[in-house]
Amino acid sequence: MSATPTPGKTLVSPTDHVLIMIDFQSQMAFATKSIDAVLLRNNAALIASAAAGFKVPTILTTVAEKSFSGPMFDEITEAFPGQPLLDRTSMNTWEDAGVIDHLNTLGKTRVVFAGLWTSVCIVSPALSAIDQGFEVYVIADACGDVTDEAHDRAMDRMVQAGARPMTSLQYLLELQRDWARTETYDMTTGIAKKLGGAYGLGIIYAKSMFNAHEG
């Protein structure tokens, strides 16, 4: 056996998956307690900005937007100006024919999920997708639930079924993966500076003080 300088097959790239962002809406956020609302909005903005910047096929879906749950976070819709939101009645996105029809047109077998709540609106489509042979990833810190227990048990259940957990910043950096990819370098570091927390502050400091450059 010998090593080769090639990425592992389970790493995500901009062209190999669909991102589905589910029910990032006011009514769902009000009861979310497993993650701070400011951090949740930041992480949602981070993955939306990353997906839009890397041109990842992205589905934005809401539940009862006009009658109960309210609008999707501005941080998400602003990253995808003009993109329609697919509104549902079903708690399980995978049971909505409109969403699935759109997913099928994209032709991807790898799906990345994020949204509210983890134990309902993420578990249901994740388990349904796995059951139908799709490869599933869940961005854990861009999901939330009514309690820590609810979120953690939902993540456990999905991982036990074969889903792969990841984080928001991990998602951004995995899409970039190589700082020699200069065409997306400024975009990636720009997103990180704005939404990447302490890592973003480090980039700002290094560039300001030393004109440093990753890679």
Q: What amino acid positions are annotated as catalytic residues?
A: 121
Q: Which of 32, 25, 72, 81 is nearest to 52 (CA)?
A: 81
Contacts 24+ apart (CB under 8 A), 92-101: 92/121, 92/124, 92/125, 92/128, 93/20, 93/22, 93/61, 93/121, 93/124, 93/125, 94/124, 94/125, 94/128, 94/129, 95/124, 95/128, 96/61, 99/20, 99/59, 99/61
Q: How far is CA 117 from CA 11, 114, 169, in A?
A: 25, 9, 20
Assign residue 59 a region (left: φ > 0; alpha: ψ between -120 and 50; beta: otherwise): beta
